[in-house]
Amino acid sequence: MSHTVLAINPGSTSTKMAVYDGKELRFEEEMRHSYEELKHFDSILEQLEFRKSKILERLAARDFYLEELDAVVGRGGLLRPLKGGTYEVNDQMVKDLQIGVSGQHASNLGGLIARELSEPLGKKAYIVDPVVVDELIPVARISGHKDYERISIFHALNHKATARKVARALSKSYEESRFVIAHLGGGISVAAHMNGEAIDVNNALGGEGPFSQNVLGHFRYLPFLMLALQKALQKKG
């Protein structure tokens, strides 16, 4: 028996959604959000009702009723570090997403919207492979400073979905494979995957790794600090 699931993926300037019957895609939608639409919100959390209403509008236009759903799954946000996998959205997770326990990002809305849509139906909400998936091996946590430890924040959902897809094509399982996977989007993350875990990856939110259209990436920090100091002295003078 297949289950009908609504998947929600909130991004910085868009909200994507899709309805699946088992593995079969019934339909998908992408809603772009302009600067004019979003500038009125002072925080990510304030966008929740706006984005939820857009989802409900598109579902209604498709003559789709929420009562058809067995579950709702949202993009995982900036939670506390955890292993990759599927997690039920519970009260503690809701609190962490609301306060942005590890930072503010549109992905925080995924689990919150999923919970708000599923709870009145008596159904469960889930997140899968959130951006804070942390499977780094000890040596990958070492940085160039004794007081600073590298952390794992990356496009885990896309990484692991891609890994599983490629593994199937090779007639293998993700858990017995070794891959280097790169996500190339508004931000870039490159990870070494071994036996089902991302054992080393750049902190895509913190600016590690290659530059992209939205992220500065690695750069020479000493000239930057000198420039900042120079400008500060000019203002003081």
Quote the pLDDT of residue 13: 85
DSSP string, 54-115: HHHHHHHHTT--GGG-SEEEEE--S-S-B-SSEEE--HHHHHHHHHTTT---TTHHHHHHHH
- The backbone region for 91, taken as left when phi is positive above 0, alpha when psi lies in -120 to 50, beta otherwise, is alpha
Q: What is the pLDDT of residues 4-57, one digit of tens each?
A: 999 999 988 899 999 999 999 999 999 999 989 999 999 999 999 999 999 999
Cα separation values, 119 from 60, 65, 113, 170, Å: 19, 15, 10, 39
Query: pTM of this prediction?
Result: 0.85
Burial class (CB in 10 A: 0-12, 13-18, 19+), 212: middle
Quote the pLDDT of residue 215: 75
Name the H helices within the chain. 35-38, 48-61, 91-99, 108-118, 156-169, 221-236
Cα separation values, 144 from 101, 140, 148, 174, Å: 26, 11, 8, 32
CA dihedral 209, 30, 164, 152 (to 10 degrees): 30
- Domains (range + CATH), the chain: 1-130 (3.30.420.40), 133-237 (3.30.420.40)
In the predicted model, residues of the chain with pLDDT beneath 70 are 237
Quote the pLDDT of residue 210: 81
Quote the pLDDT of residue 209: 81
Quote the pLDDT of residue 237: 63
